[in-house]
Amino acid sequence: MMNKIAVTIRKFDYKHGNHQNPSRKILHKQILKLHRNIKKNDCIYTEYAIEKDSDKSKYHSHLLIHYNDRENLYNQLLRFIGGNSLDY
């Protein structure tokens, strides 16, 4: 049986010193890239939705990831969000 984790991600792109919220199209590409990176070392299934924030100008994503290898998943999520450590 596969494990599940739910993740909400709000990403920012940095262009010319300013942070900008990526478009729906760019978020879609980034999520597919994350899925491919995790899939390299594990059999996974990813369900996701991209939604507008409450102020209707920015986007965030909800992911439901079914996985087997916890270590691989957390390492790839850290790379995706650009963090240094993750408490689990």
| pTM for the full predicted model | 0.77
Give the residue with greater pLDDT, 80 vs 47. Answer: 47
Q: Domain map of the chain by residue range?
A: 3-68
pLDDT tier at 50, thresholds 50, 70, 90:
very high
pLDDT tier at 55, thresholds 50, 70, 90:
confident
What pLDDT, in 10s, does the model give residues 5-49?
A: 999 888 777 777 777 788 889 889 989 998 998 999 899 999 999
Identify the residue whose tokens are 């920012």.
Answer: 12
What pLDDT is stored for residue 86 in this prediction? 53
Q: How far apart are CA 78 and CA 72, in angstroms?
A: 10
